[in-house]
Structure 1
Amino acid sequence: MSEKTIQFCYYESPIGPLLLIGSDRCLHAVSFPLDGQAIPAESLWRENLASFDEVRRELDAYFDGKLERFTVPYLLKGSSFQLSVWRMLCTIPYGSVMSYGEVARRVGKPKGAQAVGMANHANPLPIIIPCHRVIGADGSMVGFAGGLEIKRWLLAHEGISPDQINHPGQMGFDF
């Protein structure tokens, strides 16, 4: 298959079937299930499980609690602001959370919390680029493209309890 051919496979995860999209060399997107069902692949894409061996190994390790940072090659396309936010998200440690406002401050846009939320929503690689680790300044669980139930599950998987989310200032938080 050529580099330009979009390939896909489904990955059965504890949060439902994830659609992995990419090329021979890198991951382009991860799509959460919708209402528990896998997102359908586009008709021109080609299913190729082997192209996603490394991604599937790392996802297995993450869901087994043995991987805290992904190293798979990926391709990101977005505005310069989105790219800066996504790079920042990759620095939030496993098992920690950060507020939208703090992410905005760290990317040089101290009043850009809402723009950070929009960049998070556009993140093509959730889990790999951990947008689930971003919460409201008051510790509230807000916004997530995969739905708040999946966000809660991912945070709990990383050792962040719902009680901690609603009470900022406890261990694991970086405001």
Structure 2
Amino acid sequence: MDSQGQDERHLVWTVVGTGIGPLLLAATREGLVNVVFHATDRVRDRALSRLASRLGAGPVRAPGSPLLDEAVRQVGAYFTGARRDFALPLDWSLASGFSREVLRELARGVPYGSVVGYGDLARRVGRPDASQAVGVAMGSNPLPVVVPCHRVVGSDGGIGGFGGGLETKRRLLALEGVLPEPLF
């Protein structure tokens, strides 16, 4: 098998249009490894360069990849309200230690249409004093939307921060019925 075939199996990507703008979806043999917001050409190229560096493989655009085709289908269904959770294999290699533990708990324990506080999520993973570290984990989430960091909010009732921008977080929470739809 040539090196391109090996790369294709190792790191494949596509961009999908959504109600919050284009998302870059990237996958390895193990599963979906990265979701990137606002995937304009420039953002996409930077993200793919970082991924190639971190994973040690050249990214290959992969129309027809079964995993990415399924991810595109599920993301599309989520944004139309026809899907509430994702059933995709995930490659956790871009998250480690405490961040990985927190993100896994978030993925399995905070369902569609609900929110959790940073401190509550810290308690769920047995580190009640680590709410700031939970915030760091949310900010470094390599799989936003699929691993729903938009569902983590401040204990004061504020929506907290968000790597995709606060307007994107508001729109995701509105999609899930947590916030009202913006008037305009």
1:152 pairs with 2:166: no
Q: 1:88 aligns with which of 80, 101, 105?
A: 105
Q: Corresponding residue for 1:170?
A: none
Q: Corresponding residue for 2:6?
A: 2
Give the letter for the 2:141 counterpart. Answer: N
Structure showing the higher strand proportion among its residues: 1
1:49 pairs with 2:46: no
Bigger shift: residues 131-140 or 1-10: 1-10
Structure showing the higher helix proportion among its residues: 2
1:40 pairs with 2:40: no
1:129 pairs with 2:147: yes
Q: Corresponding residue for 2:26?
A: 21
The secondary structure found in structure 1 opposite 2:10 is coil
Alignment partners' CA distance in 2, 1:162 and 1:100: 22
Give the letter for the 1:134 counterpart. Answer: V
Q: 2:135 aligns with which of 117, 124, 128?
A: 117
Q: Corresponding residue for 2:121?
A: 103
Shift of 1:162: 5.5
Alignment partners' CA distance in 1, 2:92 and 2:6: 19
Give the letter for the 2:118 counterpart. Answer: Y
Cα displacement string for residues 114-169 of structure 1 (whole angstroms, at most 9, x for unaligned residues): 00000111110000000000000011011111010000000000001159xxxxxx
Contact in 2 for aligned 1:2/1:24 (Cα 8 Å) = no
Would you say how many aligned residue pairs link Structure 1 and Structure 2? 161
Alignment partners' CA distance in 1, 2:83 and 2:153: 22
Q: Can you give the 5+ residue segments of structure 1 that lack an aligned partner in the other structure?
A: 164-175
Q: Corresponding residue for 1:72?
A: 88
Alignment partners' CA distance in 1, 2:11 and 2:170: 31
Give the letter for the 1:146 counterpart. Answer: G
Cα displacement string for residues 6-29 of structure 1 (whole angstroms, at most 9, x for unaligned residues): 211110111111111113552110
Give the letter for the 1:155 counterpart. Answer: L
Shift of 1:5: 3.3
Alignment partners' CA distance in 1, 2:158 and 2:144: 19
Shift of 1:49: 2.2
- How large is the Cα RMSD of the aligned pairs? 1.8
Give the letter for the 1:50 counterpart. Answer: G
Contact in 1 for aligned 2:26/2:33 (Cα 8 Å) = yes
Give the letter for the 2:81 counterpart. Answer: G
Alignment partners' CA distance in 2, 1:86 and 1:49: 28
